[in-house]
Amino acid sequence: MDKQFFTSNRNELYQLLPDKSVAVFSATRSDSGTLPVEFVQDANFFYLTGLRDANAQLIVAKYGKSTHSILFIERNIPEMEVWIGRKLTREEAQEISGIDKIYYIDEFPRVFHPVAMSSEVCFYDHMSNKIGLNLTDTLFQLKDITTHYPTLKILNPDHYLTQLRSAKKPAEIEDMKHAIRITHDAILNVMKNTKPGMKEYELEAHFRFECVRNNAKHMAFSPIIASGKNATILHYEKNIGTVGKNDLVLMDVGAKWNEYCADITRTFPANGTFSDRQKEVYETVLNINKAIIKKVKPGLTLKDLQDETIQLMKNTLKQLKLIKKDEEFKKYYMHGVSHMLGLAAHDLVDRSKKLAEGWVITVEPGIYIPEEKLGVRIEDDILVTKEGYKNLSKGIPKEISDIESIMKK
């Protein structure tokens, strides 16, 4: 992606903003004085600037036909270069973002003042804070803004960014395809190296190794590697269990490429062969996965896909002799079948909106049977096209014969 991509995103935001308004976006905060931590850039800030640097801010303002983008970056401190390296220069920030007006972050109050005085609305982008925790730096700044500019109406810009980020541009789709290809290779690496008796975190290590080997250092989210009964926990995080000989292993994983995410789930037998019961449950989930994917097209909503999934799931669970009444289905299937995918694994979405060309969504039905220590989920990443869909992850094996063949090798 070049600076024209980010310039175009800002231009589209200008079109949505009302007259006499200003919007403020912040990069992820990072304390350079502590030990290094994994840095993940704020998605909205990256979408509008292309910067991967911490502690920066962006002002986007609109007055009639006049529009302005102002970027703030950290000053370089020569004495700190030996510890944390050199900070981004104004020239470098301009080349990445396409923004001409660049100041240092300590100049924000001075530069913001005339902008605020000329505005009626301030769209301030910030993460909500949990009750009882100290205010974040952005919330402190927002508090100062409301104190010094009491007539300025404060709103959240999420609905604008949701509208902008929903339909993916060609460059974004290519980055997501690349993330999916890396995830594909990493999943195969896990399947080929799985043996009963291993720890779940050993399988995670095989996944991460292959991602990093393919230059994807960052994950879309912390990998879920769940075997046996652990696979019935939807967002299982520990990855500390021992893989049993007769267990199914559920992998919910995704690499990230250029900040864009993959989100794939595959389930496979630790010993390389599905048992009859595992095969029975797996095939029913796979059939629902395929059926819902075929339904994807512009004009439907995520709720439409969910309603169809629930109906299929009710019939399936009865056939598996798990329930007798329709209303009992939530005991074995309790989550949504789809969410948006993009700069976040669970990307911004207005669930009331109809699917449109360029949207990328997941399709991920599952059945979870704790009493049988058995959990199955199959998840693919689907691009909504002009007339239907394209399965971006179709190359990642999910047929029983393919999975068993891979593991036998």
| 91, 184: one domain | no
Q: What is the mean pLDDT of residues 69-86?
A: 86
On the question of pLDDT at 390 being above 90, the answer is yes
| 132, 181: one domain | no
350/343 Cα distance (integer angstroms): 16
On the question of pLDDT at 130 being above 60, the answer is no
On the question of pLDDT at 131 being above 80, the answer is no
Residue 87: pLDDT band with limits 50, 70, 90: confident
Question: Torsions phi, psi of 134, nearest 5?
Answer: -65, 150
Q: What is the mean pLDDT of residues 280-303?
A: 98
For 310-373, strand residue ranges (E) read 360-363, 366-369
| 278, 391: one domain | yes
Question: Torsions phi, psi of 94, nearest 5?
Answer: -65, -40
| 154, 186: one domain | no
Residue 63: pLDDT band with limits 50, 70, 90: very high
The per-residue pLDDT for range 295-325, each reduced to its tens digit, is 999 999 999 999 999 999 999 999 999 999 9
Among 125, 148, 164, residue at a domain's last position? 164
| 199, 95: one domain | no
On the question of pLDDT at 145 being above 70, the answer is yes
Burial 35-69, CB ≥16 within 10 A → b, else e = eeeeeebbbbbbbbbbbbbbbbbbbbbbeeeeeeb
On the question of pLDDT at 15 being above 80, the answer is yes
| 44, 124: one domain | yes
Q: What is the mean pLDDT of residues 131-141?
A: 71
Residues spanned by the domain of 179: 167-408
Q: What is the mean pLDDT of residues 352-381?
A: 97
Q: Which helix (H) or strand (E) holds 252?
A: strand 248-253
pLDDT of residue 279: 98
Cβ atoms of residues 214 and 182 within 8 Å = yes
On the question of pLDDT at 37 being above 80, the answer is no
Higher per-residue confidence, 87 vs 195: 195
Q: What is the CATH number of the domain that holds 317?
A: 3.90.230.10
Taking the CB of residue 321, how many other CB atoms lie within 10 A of it?
A: 7
Residue 134: pLDDT band with limits 50, 70, 90: low
| 255, 316: one domain | yes
% of the chain at pLDDT higher than 90? 88
DSSP category for residue 228:
G
Q: What is the mean pLDDT of residues 174-197?
A: 98
Residue 289: pLDDT band with limits 50, 70, 90: very high
pLDDT of residue 31: 73
Residue 132: pLDDT band with limits 50, 70, 90: low
Among 142, 164, 186, residue at a domain's last position? 164
| 268, 373: one domain | yes
On the question of pLDDT at 126 being above 90, the answer is no
| 179, 157: one domain | no
Residue 33: pLDDT band with limits 50, 70, 90: low
On the question of pLDDT at 373 being above 70, the answer is yes
% of the chain at pLDDT higher than 70? 97
Looking at the 3D structure of the chain, how many domains does it have?
Answer: 2
| 229, 374: one domain | yes
Could you give the C-alpha distances from 308 to 82, 133, 180, 320, in angstroms and in order?
Answer: 58, 41, 26, 18
pLDDT of residue 78: 83
Q: What is the mean pLDDT of residues 276-280?
A: 98
The per-residue pLDDT for range 220-265, each reduced to its tens digit, is 999 999 999 999 999 999 999 999 999 999 999 999 999 999 999 9
Opening angle at CA 399, ends 395 and 404, nearest 5: 105
Q: What is the CATH number of the domain that holds 66?
A: 3.40.350.10
| 275, 150: one domain | no
What is the residue-wise DSSP string for 207-220?
Answer: HHHHHHHTT--SBS
Burial 20-30, CB ≥16 within 10 A → b, else e = ebbbbbbbbeb
pLDDT of residue 127: 67
Side chain identity at 179, as an amino acid letter? A
Q: What is the mean pLDDT of the chain?
A: 94
Which pTM value belongs to this model?
A: 0.94
Among 164, 190, 221, residue at a domain's last position? 164
| 122, 183: one domain | no
